[in-house]
A and B are shown apart, each in its own frame.
Chain A
Amino acid sequence: MSFLKHLKTAALAATLSVAGLQFAHADGNEQFFPLQSYRVGPYAAGGTGFFGGFIDYLNLVNTRDGGVGGVKLTWEEGETQYEVERGVEVYERLKQRPGIATWNPLSVGIAYALIDRVTADKVPLLTINHGRTDTTDGRVFKYIFPLLLNPYSETSGIVNYIAGKEGGTDKLKGKKIVVLYHGSPYGKETIPVYELLAKKYGFTLQQIEVPHPGNEQQSQWLTIRRVKPDYVVLRGWGVMNPVALKTAQKTGFPVDHIVGNVWSNSEEDVIPAGDAAKGYVAITTVAAGAQYPVLQDITKVVYGAGKGNLQDTKRIGSVYHNLGVLNGILNVEAIRIAQAKFGKRTLTGDEIRWGLENLKIDEARAAALGAKGLFHSINVTWDNHEGDGRVAFQQWDGSKWNVVSDWIAPDWKLLRPIIEKSSLTYAKEKNVKVRKSIDD
């Protein structure tokens, strides 16, 4: 009987919510995070780590500080499996909730599909470390924020790192670099900028696609073996990365000459590759490890209270988890900054956009947040939505990542004109007004 009753309530609830009559239960002092997460499918490892870290940080802020300025942070997840149409469905479903702060899909495909939607709804869309490069130009993309690192800065950072190992950019002349990229919008995003850098520095370049999801790479590595490059840049995602490292070992390519990009830099990429990954180097905007004070707080306060999101606590402090935490920090700081101007209450998406466009975290503030060494700094402005973030390189020693470089700057000056050219083309194609100031 009680089960039937339960079922009846459920059926009623489902009908009501499908009809769009959401149970709005924000009490006016909440800031809501709709999470388009993915915990199943080929990219589940990234999804569970990132969204786990994000939720852990929101939980920490709620439990330790009682929210941001007294405003509680709330969230709800919708499973997307990293598929665009499911991401869109979750967007349409969760956007009806009051007090939405920002969208953080962690998927280039979903982000692309949301650009028009968030712009119409005036809510920021964050694509930390990834996204569409020209959204860096805040004059055209008012609500899109590729925070810390866009694909072009990443490319420039990687080429600068290789140059450093060779003894300067002038030594790149005549070197051979192969870029092995994932066959998706994300993977293809950097093709032109590698070509540009190859022309500028005079290295020979070959870019080879690995079809999604990347389980099969024999023929690609046979080509690499024939080409005999000095470096292979791995622009992978998910299962493609360990397969690449293992296949490299089989074909006899030295692993320390493979440089991973920012989505090929996690424990989940190297542990499945076993020995084959020892000595592999990858770029990052967030250091791995649980020794940073903010991670210590999460372990103590959140996991101590049994509210941690990761099922496997060994993953606390892993790259994806730390990136999720960092994403939480950036979101929360933007809200804090916006609250200072608009008041300590539930803010609108547009007010949080203002907060993001004034998001400045220098090294001192990073240290105050318990994130010294976890990441370097960020400085977002209304026309630069990436925000001058710095990158580091880390090497896998078989059991953990070690940072092996300083925090270095990509060549922003070189990239900005290309970004503006692309964003202005977009503005023309879509009839978007180019902003003149933050209030525009």
Chain B
Amino acid sequence: MSAVALPRTLPAWTWPLAVLVIAFGVVPFVASGYVFDALLIPFLALSLAAVGLNLLTGYAGQLSLGTAAFMAVGAFAAYNFNLRVEGLPLLVSIGLAGLAATAVGLVFGLPSLRLRGFYLAVSTLAAQFFVQWALTKFSWFSNDNASGVIDAPSLEVAGIVFDTPVGRYIFSLSIVTVLTLLAWRLVRTQTGHHFIAVRDNELAARVIGVPVLRTKLLAFAVSSFIVGVAGVLWGFVYLRTVEPAGFNLDRSFQILFIVIIGGLATIRGAFFGAALIVVFPLLLSRVGSFLFGGWFDSGVLDMSQRIVLGALIIFFLAVEPQGLVALWDRARKRLAPA
């Protein structure tokens, strides 16, 4: 046996790099409009939101149910910056929208200094209700549109218009890549370690000199920024129209489930979870209507897909409570040569 000895472990960045090369270099040439507009773009937007929430909940241990509210702040802020400041580049309004979400996130993060766990989760619900109420109550936010619905501007950066399916995909992918890399970098710094210390044992963290209050607020700030930008992607790039009711508690729960199913405290988990929640139901519905479409109406099929998806989620979590990421890692270890 004189096999060439391959290095047992590849560098950590190999996989992400490979994914990026495929995402930027291959996917735009092979996928169809449907795949971009109905699968990949919502997948990217929700993944980014989950990355944001994961920083807060997975890494820093602050349970939040206000994610959709911060997405709404982002979307409506970007709309208003874009509408009201003449000549403001789109990317700048998106950045400002993220900052607006950060500001709101900081306000609703303040209770975290006194509250923990479920109590904090319930207090972040306030963000959920307050933001929807404010956006509905003050019609200024929606430029006095009677129904409270706003239209997205065209996606133009430095004279290039991203209004084809591929263009929109590249636009979201670039933003998601940059922010994900920043998040990935952040959790590997001292601050990231502070997040984890606060999550694991607040008292111990305080004893070893972690600035607990500052760390918690920072987690809220960074997380809200990313979630706010995800809201812009959801509203401007995916739906291309936004109404406050689209960012309701269901959406907050959806993103929380993505984080839990994907795997808490992993950046990859956000993408795994989003894939399961966004893509899998569609796949089920296509298979379902192909197999049984002639026998049941679409309503019955839809209900049964929910049952299947629910059962699968319970199964995944029962087999691997650490989420899909852990499942994936275990599968890879088992397949790898011993």
Residues of A within 8 A of B149 (CB): 109, 112, 185
Docked Cα-Cα span, A108 to B147, in Å, equals 10
Interface 9-residue window, one of A158-166, A187-195, A269-277? A187-195
- Contacts A89-B38, A116-B152 known; list 9 others, CB within 8 Å: A13-B287, A18-B39, A20-B31, A21-B32, A39-B302, A81-B302, A88-B238, A113-B241, A184-B243
Residues of B within 8 A of A390 (CB): none
B206 contacts partner chain A, Cβ-Cβ < 8 Å? no
Residues of B within 8 A of A189 (CB): 146-147
The smallest beta-carbon distance between B253 and chain A, in angstroms, is 14
Residues of B within 8 A of A93 (CB): 34, 38
A183 contacts partner chain B, Cβ-Cβ < 8 Å? yes
Listed residue (B32, B147, B151) with the most chain A CB atoms within 10 angstroms of its CB: B147
Asked whether, in the complex, the Cβ of B35 is within 8 Å of the Cβ of A20, the reply is yes
The 8 Å CB contact of B146, one of A20, A96, A190, A212, is A190
Which parts of B180-202 form the interface with A (CB within 8 Å)? Answer: none
B residues adjacent to A (C-beta < 8 A): 31-35, 37-39, 42, 83, 136, 143, 146-149, 151-152, 238-241, 243, 245-246, 282-283, 285-287, 290-291, 297-303
Listed residue (A79, A81, A109) with the most chain B CB atoms within 10 angstroms of its CB: A79
The smallest beta-carbon distance between B243 and chain A, in angstroms, is 5
Asked whether, in the complex, the Cβ of B245 is within 8 Å of the Cβ of A85, the reply is no
Asked whether, in the complex, the Cβ of A79 is within 8 Å of the Cβ of B298, the reply is yes
Residues of B within 8 A of A78 (CB): 298
Asked whether, in the complex, the Cβ of A96 is within 8 Å of the Cβ of B238, the reply is no
Asked whether, in the complex, the Cβ of B291 is within 8 Å of the Cβ of A115, the reply is no
Residues of B within 8 A of A185 (CB): 147-149, 243, 245
**Sample (20) of A-B pairs whose CB atoms are under 8 Å apart:** A10-B290, A10-B291, A14-B287, A17-B286, A18-B35, A19-B31, A19-B35, A44-B299, A77-B297, A77-B298, A79-B302, A84-B241, A84-B246, A115-B151, A116-B240, A132-B147, A183-B245, A188-B136, A188-B146, A188-B148
A430 contacts partner chain B, Cβ-Cβ < 8 Å? yes
Asked whether, in the complex, the Cβ of B291 is within 8 Å of the Cβ of A92, the reply is no
Q: A39-B299, A96-B34, A191-B146 are in contact. Are A116 and B151 (CB under 8 A)?
A: yes
A263 contacts partner chain B, Cβ-Cβ < 8 Å? no
Which parts of A188-208 form the interface with B (CB within 8 Å)? Answer: 188-192
Docked Cα-Cα span, A399 to B33, in Å, equals 49
Docked Cα-Cα span, A105 to B173, in Å, equals 30
Contact with B along A21-54 (1 / 0, CB 8 A): 1000000000000000111100010001000000
Docked Cα-Cα span, A116 to B42, in Å, equals 18
Docked Cα-Cα span, A89 to B146, in Å, equals 26
The smallest beta-carbon distance between A387 and chain B, in angstroms, is 21
Asked whether, in the complex, the Cβ of A13 is within 8 Å of the Cβ of B245, the reply is no
Asked whether, in the complex, the Cβ of A79 is within 8 Å of the Cβ of B301, the reply is yes
Asked whether, in the complex, the Cβ of B290 is within 8 Å of the Cβ of A14, the reply is yes
Docked Cα-Cα span, A183 to B135, in Å, equals 13
A to B contact number (C-beta, < 8 Å):
121
Docked Cα-Cα span, A44 to B38, in Å, equals 23
The 8 Å CB contact of B37, one of A6, A84, A88, A115, is A88
Residues of B within 8 A of A133 (CB): 146
Docked Cα-Cα span, A20 to B35, in Å, equals 7
Asked whether, in the complex, the Cβ of A39 is within 8 Å of the Cβ of B298, the reply is yes
Asked whether, in the complex, the Cβ of B146 is within 8 Å of the Cβ of A10, the reply is no
A404 contacts partner chain B, Cβ-Cβ < 8 Å? no
Q: Which 7 A-B pairs have the closest CB atoms?
A: A20-B32, A39-B299, A185-B147, A92-B38, A79-B298, A79-B302, A89-B38
Docked Cα-Cα span, A55 to B36, in Å, equals 30
Residues of A within 8 A of B290 (CB): 10, 13-14, 17
Docked Cα-Cα span, A108 to B283, in Å, equals 27
Residues of B within 8 A of A37 (CB): 298
Which parts of A1-16 form the interface with B (CB within 8 Å)? Answer: 6, 10-11, 13-14
Asked whether, in the complex, the Cβ of B291 is within 8 Å of the Cβ of A6, the reply is yes
A186 contacts partner chain B, Cβ-Cβ < 8 Å? yes
Asked whether, in the complex, the Cβ of A429 is within 8 Å of the Cβ of B283, the reply is no
Docked Cα-Cα span, A40 to B300, in Å, equals 8
Residues of B within 8 A of A186 (CB): 147
Asked whether, in the complex, the Cβ of A40 is within 8 Å of the Cβ of B148, the reply is no
Q: A20-B31, A88-B239 are in contact. Are A79 and B246 (CB under 8 A)?
A: no
Which parts of A359-407 form the interface with B (CB within 8 Å)? Answer: none
Listed residue (A89, A96, A426) with the most chain B CB atoms within 10 angstroms of its CB: A89
The 8 Å CB contact of B151, one of A11, A18, A38, A429, is A429
Asked whether, in the complex, the Cβ of A96 is within 8 Å of the Cβ of B33, the reply is yes
Asked whether, in the complex, the Cβ of A92 is within 8 Å of the Cβ of B240, the reply is no
Asked whether, in the complex, the Cβ of B299 is within 8 Å of the Cβ of A40, the reply is yes
Q: In the complex, which residue of chain A has the Cβ closest to the Cβ of B251?
A: A85
Residues of A within 8 A of B286 (CB): 13-14, 17-18
The smallest beta-carbon distance between B161 and chain A, in angstroms, is 12
Asked whether, in the complex, the Cβ of B303 is within 8 Å of the Cβ of A109, the reply is no
Q: In the complex, which residue of chain B has the Cβ closest to the Cβ of A133?
A: B146
The smallest beta-carbon distance between B44 and chain A, in angstroms, is 14
Asked whether, in the complex, the Cβ of B298 is within 8 Å of the Cβ of A92, the reply is no
Residues of A within 8 A of B35 (CB): 18-20
Docked Cα-Cα span, A77 to B297, in Å, equals 9
Residues of A within 8 A of B302 (CB): 39-40, 79, 81
Residues of A within 8 A of B152 (CB): 116
Docked Cα-Cα span, A89 to B36, in Å, equals 10
Listed residue (B33, B149, B285) with the most chain A CB atoms within 10 angstroms of its CB: B149
Residues of A within 8 A of B301 (CB): 79
Q: In the complex, which residue of chain A has the Cβ closest to the Cβ of B305?
A: A79
Docked Cα-Cα span, A242 to B240, in Å, equals 34
Contact with B along A65-108 (1 / 0, CB 8 A): 00000000000011101001100110011011000000000001
Asked whether, in the complex, the Cβ of A40 is within 8 Å of the Cβ of B303, the reply is yes
Docked Cα-Cα span, A85 to B241, in Å, equals 10
Q: In the complex, which residue of chain A has the Cβ closest to the Cβ of B297?
A: A39
The 8 Å CB contact of B147, one of A39, A48, A188, is A188
Asked whether, in the complex, the Cβ of A85 is within 8 Å of the Cβ of B298, the reply is no
Docked Cα-Cα span, A108 to B136, in Å, equals 17
Docked Cα-Cα span, A10 to B283, in Å, equals 11
The 8 Å CB contact of B299, one of A19, A79, A88, A191, is A79
